[in-house]
Amino acid sequence: MNTVKQEINLLPNTQINYSKNNINIYRETKTLTRRLYIQTYRRPAILIINIIQPLVWLILFGALFQKTSIYLFNNYNIQYREFLNPGIIVFIGFNSSINAGLPIMFDREFGFLNRILSSPLINKKSLIYSAIVHIWSITSIQIILLIAFNTLYIHKITEIKQILIILAVNTLIIINISSISICNAFTLPGHIEFIALTTLFVNIPTLFSSTALAPLSFMPYWLQIIVCLNPLTYAIEIIRQSYLKQTLSVSTVWIEININISIMILVGFSILSLILVNQIIRYKYD
C-alpha cells in the first residue's frame, strides 16, 4: 500500500515540471524580445524610416491619382486615396516582417547566435516567437499612427471594429512573412544576399503583384493570376471591405471568394510558414 501511495504522489510532479517548462519558454521569449527592443532603441533611424515610408507612398500616390475614381463592387465609387489606404496598411506589416530575420542574420555573422544557442535555451522556437512578437508590436504602433494620420488626411474616422480587423489581418501577415524571413536568415549565406533577396526580388514585386495600388480588373490576365496567388491580396481586400462596411466577395480569376475563405487562406499560409521555419531550425541546429 505504501508503494502505491508513493507512485500516486509522484504524478503531480510531472505536471509541475511541464508547467515550469512553459514558464521557462515564456521567460526565454520575453528576454529575447527585450534584446530586440534594445537594438531598436539604439537604432531608431530604422523605425523612423519605416514610419515615414508608408506616409510618403500614401501622400504621393494619393496626390498623383487624386482625380481618379475607382469603380468597385458593382459600380461602388470611391476615391483613389481611400482605395490606396488598405494597401498601404498591409504593406506596413509586410515591409516590417520581411526584415524580421535581419537581426538573426547579423547575430550569425557576428557570432552572437552561437552564444545564444550554446546557452541553456530550453526551446529554440523562442527565437521565432521573440522575432514575431517584436515585429508585431512595432508594426502595430506604426499602423495606429497611420490610422491617426488618415483621420486628418482623408477626414474619415476609423471605427474600433475596423482597427481590430486591421490588427488581426496584419497579425496573420506578420506571422506568415516573418516566418519566411527567419527561414531565409538561417539558410542564406550573409546579409548582402538577404537584403538583395528581400529588396529586389520580394519587396517591390510583391507590392505591385497585389491589389494594393490597382484593382484586379485593371490588370492583364497573366498578372491577375499572379495577384490571386499572392496572400497580400486577400489581406488587402478584407481591410478594404471593412472600410466600405459591406459584406462582399473577393473577385479572383477563377471564382468568387468570400471573407471567411480569405481568412482561412491567410491562416493556412501562416501555419505552413511556421512549420517550414521550425523544420529548418530543427534540421540545422538540433
Report the C-alpha gap between 63 and 52 in whole angstroms. Answer: 16
- Whether residue 210 lies inside any domain: the answer is yes
- Whether residue 95 lies inside any domain: the answer is yes
Q: Please list, in sequence order, all residues whose beta carbon lies within 8 angstroms of the beta carbon of residue 44, skipping any fewer than 6 positions away.
A: none
Q: Is residue 241 a contact partner of residue 259, using CB atoms and an 8 Å limit? A: yes
- Whether residue 11 lies inside any domain: the answer is no
Total domains in the chain come to 1
Chain segment 230-268, per-residue pLDDT in tens: 888 888 888 887 777 655 556 665 666 667 777 787 888
- Whether residue 13 lies inside any domain: the answer is no
Domain that includes residue 53, residue range: 29-285
- Whether residue 18 lies inside any domain: the answer is no
Region 258-279: mean pLDDT is 78
Report the C-alpha gap between 206 and 200 in whole angstroms. Answer: 10
- Whether residue 19 lies inside any domain: the answer is no
pLDDT tier at 73 (50, 70, 90 boundaries)? very low
- Whether residue 136 lies inside any domain: the answer is yes
pTM: 0.76
Res 167 pLDDT > 60: yes
- Whether residue 6 lies inside any domain: the answer is no
